[in-house]
Amino acid sequence: MHKTPIRLADGRELFYYDLRDDAERGAVDRRPLDKVATASQVRRDPLLGDSVCVASHRQDRTYHPPADECPLCPSTKDRLSEIPADDYAVVVFENRFPSLAGDSGRCEVVCFTADHQASFADLTEEQVALVLGAWTDRTAELARLPQVAQVFCFENRGAEIGVTLGHPHGQIYAYPFVTPRTERMLRTAGEYGRRTGGRNLFDDVVSRELADSRVVWESEHWVAFVPYAAHWPYEVHLYPRRRVPDLRALDAPARAEFPRAYLELLRRFDRVFGPGQPPTPYISAWHQAPFGRPDSEPAVGYAPREEFALHLELFTVRRTPGKLKFLAGSESGMDVFINDVPPETAAQRLREVAS
């Protein structure tokens, strides 16, 4: 993987990732941009103890532009975009309308391909390996920032999810705090370890799923399953068989096998509702351990980061053709999910649509 850093006209960083070492990335951003001004704040909820990001400047962000004005497509002679080059493989750049900025963290955009009409599932295994390399590199670089406590790589796909740019892309959030969901996992893992004499919760969850009926894909280095208590109609968790805390720790065999595993899952999601249906909307989310800080210790009772298990969660809000799963009173008001599709049924259906 070859990485080329440049600066955009307003000072933001952009990184080209290429498979070829001789890729020429000398194009200059010719737009007359002012320096980005943000008003990002992180506020602590005194009742729940979690954090809320307030980012009023995002009201002006780009919203459903026509394809010929897409800011994530390569630049042309007549139209300048966020990417100065006239073509690219994978690009990562600082978000122009970040939810987190400065001392409050950082937000980046990941463009998976220059092809506006493609989706992640259309990529080749070689292209997916390059995206994995970019995710890993950005995790490593963002981990060095003193204000960053956790890095979250994710993709939202589909208007039903709320996507406002149709170009195939994802995002990276570098939080200045440990997210509530990760805190809950670490707390639950710590309690489980004390209760079981030091056993690892993530290892035992994967072992139990391998012995049950919800596995949808497995290989030498990865296993994918619908979890026993799935929140969403179709939800798959993908784990490396060798537990590691984050993307940086994946070994070469797991990296080599990941593209095949991930592409198979995405393609099954697009087939799960039958032929003739529109592409399945989904959220794909990497869960990584937060970073240890020299001046801080893990919270009392929480599992240390080395006991966390890197995993990817893939789920859709579509529950059946033409119908979506909306978060209603129980889910939004009390955080208690009600799933209309039994996980065993979802797993069986995802096996039926295997390649």
Q: Which of 108, 136, 95 is closest to 3 using CA atoms?
A: 136
Residue whose structure tokens are 């200059």:
28
Phi, psi of 17 (to 5 degrees): -120, 125
CA 10 to chain centre: 26
Per-residue b or e along 213-244, where b marks 16 or more CB atoms closer than 10 Å to that residue's CB? ebbbbeeebbbbbbbeebbbbbbbbbbbbebb
Q: Which of 207, 330, 318 is closest to 273 using CA atoms?
A: 318
The active-site residue, picked from 64, 116, 169, 311, is: 169
**Radius of gyration of the chain from Cα atoms?**
20
- DSSP H helices, 144-200, are 180-195
Contacts of 145 (CB under 8 A, 6+ apart): 106, 174
Phi, psi of 113 (to 5 degrees): -160, 155
Q: How many CA atoms lie within 13 A of 32 on its CB side?
A: 0
The question of whether 169 is a catalytic residue gets the answer yes
- Taking a C-beta distance cutoff of 8 angstroms, is the pair 113, 128 a contact? no
Q: How many CB atoms lie within 10 A of CB 207?
A: 12
Q: What is each CA distance from 145 to 2, 132, 174, 294, in whole angstroms?
A: 22, 21, 9, 13
- DSSP H helices, 87-233, are 125-143, 180-195, 201-210
Q: How far apart are the first and last CA of the chain?
A: 29
- Which residues form the catalytic set? 169
